[in-house]
Amino acid sequence: ICGFHGCFFHGCPQCYDGDAKSPLDNLPLWYKCGNTVRREDVLTGAGCAVIEVWECRWRQLLRGDPSIQDFVNGLDIV
């Protein structure tokens, strides 16, 4: 299972203060991040192989590896 975690929606601890609240539902970002981690734990506990990437890490990969940027640019997204 591949998971892409948007930093804002999942409360990335690298990008956001965990005590900040989401303007969408007024939940603290530490809570959202905890839900994300628990979801991964449930999937892993059920025997699933889980690969996850945070949005900020994905952006770093795109900037640092031209082959990834070429791959993404070549996708025919409808």
Please identify which residue in the block is written with the tokens 């809570």: 31
Partners of 51 in the β-ladder? 2
Segment 9-68, tens digit of pLDDT: 999 999 999 899 998 899 999 999 999 999 999 999 999 999 999 999 999 999 999 999
How far is the C-alpha of 66 from the C-alpha of 7, rounded, in Å? 23
State CA 12 to chain mean position distance.
Answer: 7
pTM for this model (two decimals): 0.79
Burial of 22 (0-12, 13-18, 19+ CB in 10 A): middle
Burial of 34 (0-12, 13-18, 19+ CB in 10 A): middle
